Each structure stands twice: as structure tokens, then as C-alpha cells.
Amino acid sequence: MRCLIDGITHRGEGVARINEKVAFIPFTIPGEEVEVEIVDERARFSRGKITQIVAPSPERAEPTCQYFYQCGDCAYQHVTYQLQLRLKKQVVTDALRRIGQQKIAVQDVLGMEKPWQYRNKVTWQVGELKGVKRLGYYQQDSHWHLPINRCWLLSPEITKFSQFLDSSLGFTGILQEKKVVIRQASDDSKLLLIVEGPVDEEGLKSLVKSYPGLESLFIYENRQLKHLFGSKKMNLAIGPRRYQVSPLAFFQVNNQQTRRLYDEVKRMAGDNDANSILDAYCGTGAIAIYVADQYKYVHGVDDFPPSIADAKSNALLNNLSNCTFQAGACERIIPKLKQDFDTVILDPPRAGCHKNLLLALSDKKIPQIIYVSCNPATLARDVKILCESSYKIELVQPVDMFPWTYHDECIIMMTNSGFKGN
């Protein structure tokens, strides 16, 4: 059946009306006329697949990756990069209006000049094809293994090492489906490898120890991380700041755009060297340390103790004496803090902030909140709570941290108006 694509979802799927119901059609572009086949019929919506593009968008593009239509990790390789940025801006705008009930202008997305080969981390799935172990991803919305050893989002160094591993898996003792994580350092492009166990440790060590770019090897088994050789932490850098990060700790995967993101946060925070800032969900202290030179006092809170240990070490690494860090749940610790803060930075996981934390910030009448999020839906939900108390949005700035994927990174600056419902 024929339909007109008139919208886009947060996951990059085209939206149409078919049989008086909303239909989600992957790999389509708003404005296109397409023939589709319904493959999943539900009471309130349906899903379809393209059988023919009747009237293609002038901004439709040929995907760079041969696995694009199978893999599912990317959502936008069938469109031009400029259109992708506009679509991501629209997703943020729609989320704020629909979920957050906020009608506010969103700034153009800050994109990349060269939006390929930017990832400094990959998690491969190990599967079997015709009796041979292979690296790959799961196919879209499934656990079917897709053998692949070249992803265009990965750095050249990670790609080269991945192909080395892929050609050697038969000799590593990996006998069932497992995960393989590769991370790359900033300064010297050295690599860190984590293999999910159990494995033949000696066989694995003898294999990968000969790879010149591999600096560290770990086995992850029974929720425990075992260090086999090399450095115990990754050396990473964002602008002038240096960080040493534990293997399992979170760190942004796009160094170039992370600096743009942190620069925007720093600009929004302003020059307040006589004042104090609180970094909630601070992780390894990345943002807190990046903006620390603008404030008299910086305090970070995170519920993952290894990350807090990294944060404390990173403050010393950058010769900062005005930073302190504390382990524990933000919603439990921050309401009890006696210190008055002029600015709070929120950078939670995709699930967003705990409601109790948002209410506590309102009660404390924090003058400024800078919210960093990779999930427009939970961002909009949390912003609504803050706006219903006493905050108003001053600026919404998306940053394209994950080109070609549907993920949206966004910064919202809010100020306390002193009046509820603004």
C-alpha cells in the first residue's frame, strides 16, 4: 500500500497514517511517498517495511556501510548529514513540546565536519557462523548475530585490531557467545581489551600480547574484572584536561564532540570563580574537572565508587585543589548537602534523574541548572518537573555526539525564576 511519510520518531523511523492508524516505517524520510508492506499489526499502531520508494526525498543518500539495513545501530545513513542534523533537532523539539510541555526554540545541532570514524570504544558480540567464531553485532531488534569486522563509526585503530581479533578467534578458546570490548586511549591510540570469560587465559594472552597497539588486557567473569597484563587504566584527554579511567567506567566515545559539549557547558556556566558548582552523576569527574578553573569550589557525586576513585585521582592529575568527590546515590546525598551551590550540572544515565533529586534542587533554589542528556524523552520529562516548580529554560543546545545513529545529546540551561509554573 502507498503512503506519505509525514514525521519521524526519536529512533529515526518514518511515521505515516495507514488504515487510520500510526505506522512506523524504518529507513524513510519525511516528505517521501512510499509503497509499504505491513509486517506487524497492533491495536493502536503498525510497523511496515519499504517495498518501493515512489517519490524519494532529494536528501536521500546511499549508505556508506554495506550492513546498514541489517545492523540497526545506525539510523540515518540513508539521508544526508545536514538533513540528519535537522531531524535530530526536530526530535528534541518534539520531545520538549509533547513530553515536557515546553514550547521553546531549539538551537541548531552542533555537527561534525568529518562525521565518521569517531568512536573510541566498541562492544562486539562473539557468534558462530558455519562453525567459525566471528565478531559482529546483533541484527536490528533481534539476537541474530551479524558477522562484521568493519564499522564505519569506529576509529581506524579499533577497526584494525578488530579485524586482527576476528581472524584469530578460532585460537582464543572462546567457545560460546561472549562480549569483547575494545577501548582506545586519546594520546597514543593505545588499546584496552576486555573479554568476557571464561576463556583460555594463557592462549588469549599469547595471541594478543603480540599486537603492537594493545596496552592492556582484562577478563570479565562472574561480575569480576581480572587484570591479565598492561596498564590498569586508560589515558584519555579532552582539550587541556587529562583523565585516567578504569576499564568499566563510563567515558564519552567521541573525543572531538565531547570537547564541544564541555565547552558549551563551560560557556553556559559562565565565569564564576568566586562561586561553587555541583556535578550530579559526575562519573569519573570529566565535566567537573573540565570547568573547575571557573569556580572556587567544585563537588561531584556519583553512585559508582570506582568512578569516584577515578575522579579523585583525575583532580590530582590536573593539579586541581578545589574539587571534591563523593560516592553515593545523588537523590540521597545531594538533598542532605549543607553547601550552597550556584550551579548544578546534571548528566544522568539514559533513565534520567530521580524525581526526589529534582525536587530537592527546587527546594534548595539552585540559581542555575545545566542539564546534559543523551535521551530527549527523559530529559523532557525531568525538565517538566523543574519547570512546574520554579525553573525556566534559557537555552537548548543539541550536540551531535553520535553521527548516523538516532541518539541525541542535548544541553539545557535553566534558571530559577522564583515562581512556580514558569
Geometric angle at alpha carbon 109, from 183 and 294, rounded to 5°: 70
Q: What is the DSSP string of 44-63?
A: SEEEEEEEEEEE--TTB---
**What is the Cα–Cα distance from 228 to 220, expressed in whole angstroms?**
11
Tell which residue, 29, 137, 147, 38, has the closest CA to residue 77: 29
**What is the Cα–Cα distance from 399 to 257, expressed in whole angstroms?**
7
Q: Give kind and range of the element (H or E) at residue 385.
A: helix 376-389
**Nearest 5°: phi and psi at 228?**
-100, -40
Q: What is the DSSP string of 338-359?
A: -S--SEEEE---TT---HHHHH
In the block, residue with C-alpha cell 544515565: 349
DSSP β-bridge partners for residue 119: 154, 254
| CB of 317 closer than 8 Å to CB of 284 | no
| CB of 315 closer than 8 Å to CB of 353 | no
Q: Is 37 exposed, middle or buried (0-12, 13-18, 19+ CB in 10 A)?
A: exposed
Residue type, 185: A
DSSP β-bridge partners for residue 355: none
Per the annotation, the verdict on 330 as an active-site residue is no
**What is the Cα–Cα distance from 51 to 62, expressed in whole angstroms?**
17
**What is the Cα–Cα distance from 330 to 279, expressed in whole angstroms?**
10
**What is the Cα–Cα distance from 239 to 258, expressed in whole angstroms?**
9
Q: What is the DSSP letter of 139?
A: P
Q: Using omega within 30 degrees of 0 as the cis cutoff, is the peptide bond preceding 198 cis?
A: yes
Strand, helix or coil for residue 409: strand
- Of these residues, 74, 374, 387, 410, which one is catalytic? 374
What b/e readout covers 14-25, taking b as 16+ CB neighbours within 10 angstroms?
bbbebeeeebbb
| CB of 343 closer than 8 Å to CB of 283 | no
Give the residue numbers annotated as catalytic, written as ranges: 374
